[in-house]
Amino acid sequence: MSVQGVDGQDLGLLLVAAQDGDRASYAAFLRAVLPLIRAVGRGKLARPADLEDFVQDTLLAIHQSLPTFQPGRPVGPWLGTIARNRLSDALRRTYRRRAVETEFDDGLADTVAQPEADTPPSIALGPLLSQLPERQRLAIDMLKLRGMSLKEASDASGVSIGALKVAVHRGIAGLRHLLRKDNDHG
Amino acid sequence: MADTSHLIDRLSSEAVPARRLPPPVLRLLRWAVASLALMALATTWHGIRSDLGAVAGDPAWLAEQVLALVTALLAGFAAISFSVPGRRGWERLVWLPMAAFWLLVMWESARPTMETQAIPEMAHLFCPYCFPVISIGSALFLGADMRRAAPVAPVRMMALLLIAGGGMAMFGERLIHDDLDAPLLIAIQIVAVVTVGALLAPLGRVLFRWRRPKVNLQQKAME
């Protein structure tokens, strides 16, 4: 087994050093096995987010299994068993989620003829947006006004994709509420 | 990707010298000693069977006891091997031929007198005190050891844990009682232990779980 110039024997040495508490070796070991772990999950987990969850889950499992590695034994089967175990759990979670969720295809709307859009009434959103909580305003600004993708917005803000979706949803509900209130007051 | 890198940094920064688990054979020996000590404790309370000296000279009885002990030890070894990632396949299956052989021997021994023997009632199948004490105690020793390892096959680990505990109890109660030697009874006991092991195996998902140590994904996502 060879990963980015690190062969199985080197991985074994790094892992034994990690067991002895050597932090640099542990970090090097975890980084060296990342491509191996990804290779186990790739092709089975379609969504990149699921693959990344699986990789992180496997890293945590390796952390827990650290005392079980016997020096001198091959690292490949040890790592492979842990990764396959975490993969089967990840697949189980994915199937369970698929049973209750429908994937939204962003491209679907582009394939359907859209009615002529009415010219939207011009509304000054600025004052309304400023009344929203910081997190919701930021999410609407990045995703709806600046047109960033969820991934880009998540990378830029450091907020997870799930949290961004929730913030946008709540922000739009808040704006709707504010608009209604605005109309009621003339 | 940024999250994964961050997780690696967190895990490696928290690395401390790990208490390496001993090799499976050593863990098995430790479990066997603990189980035998439990049996010794049970004999001090219940007493050893009065004819132990006589039956110990009977090769058939000795062979049956050896089969019981070896099957229990091999099932324990298989359970321990399942808890260590990357062990060889034969280590996990080695108990199966031994259990089948033991069952076959008991069945063949019981066959000639089968028609004259009545199927024992459930209440007389096991000693209601010795069997639970030895089997549960011994399974708890093994379970405690396995919980320190990796739960890569929790269901099979649980099944083998129960079979090992049951086998150990079958060996132990024959040192204490002189009315549990009938081959048919032993054959039924073997089937009962394996069946209970298979039925309760799903509990392994509760007993053997991946822990979320100091670092967890939710905590990481919030940062």
Arithmetic mean of pLDDT over chain A: 81
Judged by a CB distance cut-off of 8 A, whether residue A133 touches chain B is no
CA B11 to chain centre: 34
Structure tokens at B104: 């076959």
The architecture (CATH level 2) of A124-184 comes to: Orthogonal Bundle (1.10)
Label residue B72 by pLDDT band (50, 70, 90): very high
Torsion angles phi and psi, residue A103, rounded to 5: -70, 135
Q: What's the CATH code, domain A2-100?
A: 1.10.1740.10
pLDDT band of residue A2 (cuts 50, 70, 90) is: very low
With a cut of 70, say whether residue B215 has pLDDT above it. Answer: no
Of A31, A69, A86, the CB nearest to B8: A31
Interface of B with A (CB under 8 A): 1-4, 7-9, 11-13, 15-21, 23, 83-87, 148-150, 152-153, 210-213, 215-217, 220-223
Among candidates B201, B166, B161, which has minimal Cα distance to B186?
B166
User: Which is higher by pLDDT, A106 or A26?
Assistant: A26
Q: Kindly list the residues from chain A whose CB atom is less than 8 angstroms away from the CB atom of residue B86.
A: 73-74, 76-81
**More confidently predicted of B2 and A59:** A59
- B218 falls in which pLDDT band (50, 70, 90)? very low
Q: Does B84 contact A19 at a Cβ distance shorter than 8 Å?
A: no
What pTM was computed for the model? 0.72
For residue range A112-154, what is the model confidence (pLDDT) as tens digits? 665 555 555 556 777 788 888 888 888 888 888 878 888 888 8
Q: Residue B19: which of A59, A67, A71 has the nearest Cβ? A: A67
User: A52, B152: Cβ pair inside 8 Å?
Assistant: no
CA neighbor of B84 nearest in space, from A18, A92, A79: A79
Domain map (residue ranges) of chain A: 2-100, 124-184
**CB contact (8 A) between residue A59 and residue B4:** yes
A74 inside 8 A of chain B by CB? yes
- Between A24-33, B67-76, B84-93, the lowest mean confidence (pLDDT) is in B84-93
- DSSP annotation of A6 reads E
**A2-100 against A124-184: fold identical:** no
Average pLDDT over residues B104-115: 81
Rounded Cα gap, residues B23 and B80, in angstroms: 10
E strand segments, chain B: none
Question: Contact, A66 vs B51, CB < 8 A?
Answer: no
